[in-house]
Each structure stands twice: as C-alpha cells, then as structure tokens.
Copies of this chain bind each other. A is one copy, B any other.
C-alpha cells in the first residue's frame, strides 16, 4: 500500500473535488466572511435507538494539521484545479476556525448538531468531506459496539473485525470506537500500539491444522505462550477438542502453565458452550473460561446469554466493524449562516433547521434522560447544554482526552438511557423538541425566500 499510505492520508487532497472548486470561487470573490456549519445525523437507522458520539479527536487532529504542501499545489495547478492566485491562497491556508462539539462518548439522537464549525467560508467548506468521513464512521461503530455492551453486561468483549473492516483506517478507528464504547480490547495490534488499547489473540484454525494433531498444537502453543493460553477447540470436533484440553491440563500445571480459556468459533454456541463447560468442570478444569466467536453481533450475544450459555467472553468481528445492519449514517454538514445571514437548504427530504444551535438535555432526578431540546445557542432551555467549545482560532482548547475518560463518559451516558432505548428492539423514538426560536427562524427565512 505504498501509494495510499504514508503521508497520503493526512493530505488536504483527501476531499471531494467540489470543496476545491467552491473554495476557488469563494477566494476569487473575496467571500471570506464567517460561515457556520453544523454536522448532524438526519435520522437513526431502524436498528438504532441512540448513537454514541465518537471521532472528535481525529477531527481536531485533522483540522490542526491541515496544510497544502508544494507537491499538492503542483498537482492542483497541473490538473487545472488551481491557478496562481488560488494556489497562493492554499499555500498559506490554515484552519483558523472555532469548533464546538458534543464530547465523545455522549449518547445522542437524530437531528442534534454534534459539531459546529465557525470559520471563514473557504476554510469551513474545505474541511467538510473529511469531517463527515471521520465523524460518521466512529459514531456509527461506537453506536453498534454500545449495543453489544448493553447486550452482554459484565462479559469480556473483544473487537475481532480487522480483516473485514473497510481498509486499514477503518480497522484502526473501529478498534478505537469499540473500546470507547466499552469493549475490553481488540485483536488489531497496531490499534493497540497507536491508541494504547489492550490487545487479544492466540491461535487460528490453521495453527491446529499445521500440526500433526490438536494435542500437539495445544501443547506447543501453551509452552510457547505460558501466560496467554487460550486454545481454539473447534477445528475438527469441538467436544473432542475440549476433552483434549482436559487431558493436557494436569501436565501443563506441573510446568506451572495454566490454561486460561478455550475458544469456540463455530457451530451452535449455546449447546456447545454448555457441553464444553460440563466437560471442563468434570475434568478438573473448572477455572478454564469459555470464549466464543464466529458471526456474532448484539442479537447473538443477547440470545446466547438468555439461553444461559456459559460463555465468559466474546470476540466480535465482521458485523461490528462494518456495522453490517446499518453500514452508514444519514448525516450531513450544513451551512447555517454566512456573513451574518441565515442559510437554509430546502431540497426535498433534506431540509435543515437554521441558526447556531445547541442541544439541551433534561434528565430525571435519578439521571434518566427525559427529553432533549434543540434550540439556538443563545437560548437556555435546561441546565445541560451538550455542545462545548473545543477549538478556538484553529487551536485545541484542551489536551486530547485519554480514552479511559471517554470510555467512562460512555458508560455513564449509556446508564442514563431509558430502558426502552437500551433494548435492542426498536423503541419509540426519544423525544426531541425543536425550540420555538429555531422554528421562528426557519419560518422567517422561508418567508423571505418567497418574496
């Protein structure tokens, strides 16, 4: 991947061409007035009762480091996308705007602005494509992961999805988003290194089939990784695999090696886990845990646990890392205001609420969410406005948050969700009111447009 990696991903050219064509015109016309854009999810997928905001940290990294290098400019000029004047503008370009955002790890809903950008028009426009690309992905994955966490409280959950994730960055950011949502770690080594997330992994079926038989494979692995003995027992016959483990345990114990767990990756996991548990318990291996994987998602977790499957931990891959039941969010980054004038798009089915907005949250005495209000930032509808300033004139206002902080916020925020929203089944949508002031602004705009 020489060509799409390296410094390429930080490239300002990772954008839709129209951001550049529009910026060129803005610059030519001197349209450097202040623009206000807001990012929001227009509607939740049918299988989501809430979303968990994520991806802000990567957005702020992007905004702080955005630069057009000489080779970018040379390419733009050669391609006819920049003349001298525009190239000169881009050479000096820095993102100098303000950013307001709902902190990562906060449960959020449809039509709530999650990020607001206030910047000179060309800058606010140029960042759109990557902003959406970064915010939608992690928010989508964190939301899927949160459902798994809610479906299997107290169980170890590990992200196994790298191979089916959509490319390298998706794999890495999925590991981050799932950890933020409450997962215990990931199998993706580089995510462990980059984000300091616990990493998990032992053996694949190929390891077993490469050896003469299972017993040899298991013993070889245990002696090679005495502190991390998790044995994959379903390569040929799961129950026979469990009995092989039982046979090996005493000999390994004599060498001071404990088998931590067995992993089952196929078949009827509820039945098999019960039978394996029984084989292990009868075989003096009651402290060997059972780890399950293979085609899992939040529904499978719920069903397995409801069926009393004695599974201690789960590895969740494909369905999680591609959010397979909802592989995108219907989200948008919309111009709310330009140079003091409110703006509103009225394209069929894509109308936006105008103004600089804030999300106000009302909770019951025990913390349970009652209702959100989307009002103007100047209103004061409850004591809990969710959006806070995070960047001023292109500089972060705070140090990057440790993942542990975001993870704790996620747990706290999920705990405030009413029971019906925490359930996997589709619930009555959470109540969100659009304030009278926002509605009046929209009406006023439409009246002017009609003139």
In the assembly, what is the distance between CA of A7 and CA of B7, in Å? 7
In the assembly, what is the distance between CA of A121 and CA of B206, in Å? 10
Contacting chain B: which of A338-346, A380-388, A413-421, A423-431? Answer: A338-346
Is A132 in the interface zone, CB < 8 Å from B?
yes
Provide the residues of chain B in CB contact with A207, threshold 8 Å: 18, 22, 25, 125
In the assembly, what is the distance between CA of A196 and CA of B322, in Å? 28
Provide the residues of chain B in CB contact with A7, threshold 8 Å: 5-6
Which of A22, A81, A210 is packed against the most chain B CB atoms within 10 Å? A210
A103 → B minimal CB distance (Å): 19
Is A298 in the interface zone, CB < 8 Å from B?
no
- The A319-369 residues at the B interface (CB cut-off 8 A) are 322-324, 327-329, 334-335, 338, 343-350
Q: A209–B345 contact, CB under 8 A?
A: yes
Which of A16, A22, A266, A350 is packed against the most chain B CB atoms within 10 Å? A16
Q: How many copies of this chain sit in the oligomeric assembly?
A: 2
Interface string of A156-184 (1 = CB under 8 A from B): 00001011111111111100000000000
Is A398 in the interface zone, CB < 8 Å from B?
no
Is A2 in the interface zone, CB < 8 Å from B?
yes
Which of A11, A318, A347 is packed against the most chain B CB atoms within 10 Å? A347
Q: B11–A8 contact, CB under 8 A?
A: no
Contacting chain B: which of A29-37, A107-115, A146-154, A370-378? Answer: A29-37
A402 → B minimal CB distance (Å): 14
In the assembly, what is the distance between CA of A335 and CA of B204, in Å? 10
Is A190 in the interface zone, CB < 8 Å from B?
yes
Q: A201–B21 contact, CB under 8 A?
A: yes
Provide the residues of chain B in CB contact with A165, threshold 8 Å: 133, 166
In the assembly, what is the distance between CA of A170 and CA of B205, in Å? 28
Q: B195–A14 contact, CB under 8 A?
A: no
If the complex has contacts A235-B347, A347-B205, are A190 and B8 also in contact, measured as CB distance less than 8 A?
Answer: yes
Is A255 in the interface zone, CB < 8 Å from B?
no
Nearest-neighbor residue (CB-CB) of A335 within chain B: B206
A306 → B minimal CB distance (Å): 22
Which of A13, A17, A137 is packed against the most chain B CB atoms within 10 Å? A17
Is A224 in the interface zone, CB < 8 Å from B?
yes
Q: B61–A24 contact, CB under 8 A?
A: no
In the assembly, what is the distance between CA of A188 and CA of B17, in Å? 6
Instruction: Known pairs A206-B343, A265-B347; list 10 more (Cβ under 8 Å).
Output: A4-B58, A21-B202, A21-B203, A75-B193, A137-B166, A164-B329, A206-B335, A235-B347, A324-B327, A324-B328
Query: Which of A's residues lie within 8 Å of B, judged by CB?
Result: 1-11, 13-22, 24-26, 28-29, 31, 35, 37, 58, 61-62, 65, 75, 79-81, 121, 125, 128-130, 132-134, 136-137, 160, 162-173, 187-190, 192-195, 199-207, 209-210, 220-221, 224-225, 227-228, 234-237, 265-267, 318, 322-324, 327-329, 334-335, 338, 343-350, 449
